[in-house]
Amino acid sequence: MGEVLALVEARLRTALGEPDARAAVTFLGTDRIEVLRFVDGDLVRYVTLGMSAHPMTDPTAALADPVKGPRAELMLSVRAGLADTDKVLRPLAVLASTPQVEGVVVAAGASLDVGEPLWPGAPFTSVLVAEPGGLVEDVELDEPLDPVRFLPLLPMTSNEAAWKRVHGAQALEERWLTSGTDLRDPLRGSVRLD
């Protein structure tokens, strides 16, 4: 477990530089989840560290495989200085502990909801998990371990989350794209959905 997390943190430092802050959260019955903050000009990136320590397992499997299965960390990017986004640390840790607590596999296209604003005054309580492979490359691990993927999180308003449940993740992403939505704006309103 420690070796995987050391490799993940090394990859984050290579891709994003030195974190300027980190916080740790431990929930009863789960491993510790850290959230690292990286500042890049007018952007702040929050990345979990700890979710990839164990593979995610199919909740319908009779036994959890301690070796094989997808591994991931979560990454949220927002514009700096517009909202108190540092309060997202606990909600991010909650989302990162979901595979351990609820036995789910977090993958691109999934919706995750924390049931409260991601930060004070945020119009978002949920996120859409986007495709990995952009800003931070996967961390390849020795066979038979699956690589660690970095999954970007895109905050969704409650209207967007409801619309996504009906029309799907790809349709919502296309709506954001055609509307020129700034998904990094921590104060943005809902995209037009009619």
pLDDT in tens, 6-65: 999 999 999 999 999 999 888 777 788 999 999 999 999 999 999 999 999 876 666 666
Output the pLDDT for position 63. Answer: 66
Nearest to 111 by CA among 56, 63, 166, 150: 166
Q: Which residue has the tokens 């989350």?
A: 161
What is the pTM (predicted TM-score) of this model? Answer: 0.93
pLDDT in tens, 105-163: 999 999 999 999 999 999 999 999 999 988 899 999 998 899 999 999 999 999 999 99
CA distance 56 to 139: 16
Compute φ and ψ for 10, nearest 5 degrees.
Answer: -60, -40
Q: Are 69 and 55 in contact (CB under 8 A)?
A: yes
* Sheet containing 33-40: order of strands: 21-25, 33-40, 43-49, 71-79, 148-157, 124-129, 111-113
pLDDT in tens, 12-21: 999 999 999 9
Per-position b or e across 119-138, b if 16+ CB within 10 A of its CB: beebbbbbbbbbebeeebee
Q: Are 118 and 155 in contact (CB under 8 A)?
A: yes
